[in-house]
Structure 1
Amino acid sequence: MNGLYTLKPWYAARLGGVRRLLVTRGVRPGTITLAGIGFGAAAGAVLWFAAPGPPAALGVAAALAARLACANLDGGVARESGRRSRFGFVVNELGDRLAEYAALAGCLAIASPALVAGAALAATLPSWAALAGAAAGAGRVQGGPVGKTERCVLLVGFALTGWSAWLLVLALGSLLTAVVRLARLRASLRDPSPDLRVVRP
């Protein structure tokens, strides 16, 4: 049930050269987070202005791939450059949500506002579940059947076909992911063993 999140270590390794270059150039993590929001907005612009089909899907895929790269790089650059901070964690979370909202906003061109709003709301639930667990001392729970990466893939499918069913799957899958994370958190917080208090996929 961890989905594409299991590929994160592999993906982070592929971005190692870019991450080191950014650290060497003194690029701030917040700047990378802002770039991620910009790429999310670029995906939304493609969804808004381009008719569904392969060119739109390619444009959305490229923009969202860059957005995911920024989401991976900002934390890595913060750690390697010694700029890691608690407020940086807040900025990172806000950046993720804004980037996703910006991409989903483009779906309003052809999908009903109610469906887009429902998908946007549901997409936040996995992160809220993870943050609630972290606040309770259980560590940050990640993964799930429809996490951030899977939601990007579903948006590419929407850009290719224009079918609203992709957004419905995104909404229901996000809800299921939140339930899965909450179940993991419940098991973790009920177990007094210290080595089980932090849940990682």
Structure 2
Amino acid sequence: MSSGLYALKPWYADRLAGARRALAARGVTPSTVTAAGVGFGALAGLVLATVRSPLAATVLVAALLALRLAAANLDGALARETGTGTRWGAVVNELGDRGAELAALAGCFALAPPWLVLLAMLTASAPSWVALSGAAAGAARINGGPVGKTERCLLLIVLAAVPAHADVLLVVLAAGSALTAAVRLRALHRALAPARFRTGRTT
């Protein structure tokens, strides 16, 4: 499953090929790129919380989230390019992706009620939980959706431009993320329901 702006990922990866080769030539590790992505997300959140000029905030948030998305694409691609991919690296990659998004959303505490920001954080993570649960059950990793990672970044850029409507935009982000999780869950049910397998009791 690949829908929404995620369908542009192959095209975007091609645009980043030069940066990927340059990073590989300089010996930059995938984990360093992952950490940079978290840093870009945190800086975007800081801008949302502190920069009061909508124009300046929009430009800065757009640039930082573009770098955050680039890092999210480059860390895995760099690991494949250099043959340094590991299972632990995949864990770091996933944690970094979630950390970068939550750090950016944290900036909204200065613009909206805390309960709404926490709700947006929770629902923004739900699509990835569903995808990872499906992968753990043996299904192909499901990505994209009506409001995936890229769409959520775009909503934060709009929020930077019109902070007075932060509440509405966070509701859209939360509802869209929940819908995306539901769409992925339905696709997983269709893919896995016919399968017959034994599961062990867990506690």
How does the TM-score come out when normalised to structure 2? 0.92
Aligned match of 1:199: none
Measured in 2, the distance between the counterparts of 1:109 and 1:186 equals 39
Aligned match of 1:196: none
Percentage of pairs with the same residue? 59
- State how 1:1-201 maps to structure 2 within 5 Å: 2-51=3-52, 53-162=54-163, 163=165, 164-191=167-194
Q: SS at the partner of 1:157?
A: helix
CA contact (8 A) 1:45 1:103 kept: yes
Measured in 2, the distance between the counterparts of 1:60 and 1:6 equals 23
1:54 Cα deviation after fit: 1.9
Aligned match of 2:200: none
Unmatched 5+ residue regions in structure 2?
196-203
Measured in 1, the distance between the counterparts of 2:53 and 2:9 equals 29
1:126 Cα deviation after fit: 0.1
Measured in 2, the distance between the counterparts of 1:5 and 1:103 equals 19
Q: List structure 1 runs of 4+ shifted beyond 3 angstroms.
A: none
| Equivalent AA in structure 2 for residue 188 of structure 1 | A
CA contact (8 A) 1:46 1:56 kept: yes
Measured in 1, the distance between the counterparts of 2:127 and 2:135 equals 12
Measured in 1, the distance between the counterparts of 2:121 and 2:111 equals 15
Unmatched 5+ residue regions in structure 1?
193-201
| Equivalent AA in structure 2 for residue 85 of structure 1 | T
Measured in 1, the distance between the counterparts of 2:75 and 2:132 equals 18
1:190 Cα deviation after fit: 2.6
Measured in 1, the distance between the counterparts of 2:171 and 2:68 equals 22
1:191 Cα deviation after fit: 4.2
CA contact (8 A) 1:116 1:167 kept: yes
Measured in 1, the distance between the counterparts of 2:111 and 2:134 equals 36
Task: Name the count of aligned residue pairs.
Answer: 192
1:104 Cα deviation after fit: 0.7
| Equivalent AA in structure 2 for residue 170 of structure 1 | L
After superposition, the CA RMSD in angstroms is: 1.0
1:23 Cα deviation after fit: 0.9
CA contact (8 A) 1:52 1:158 kept: no
1:52 Cα deviation after fit: 5.3
Measured in 2, the distance between the counterparts of 1:183 and 1:89 equals 25
CA contact (8 A) 1:52 1:161 kept: no
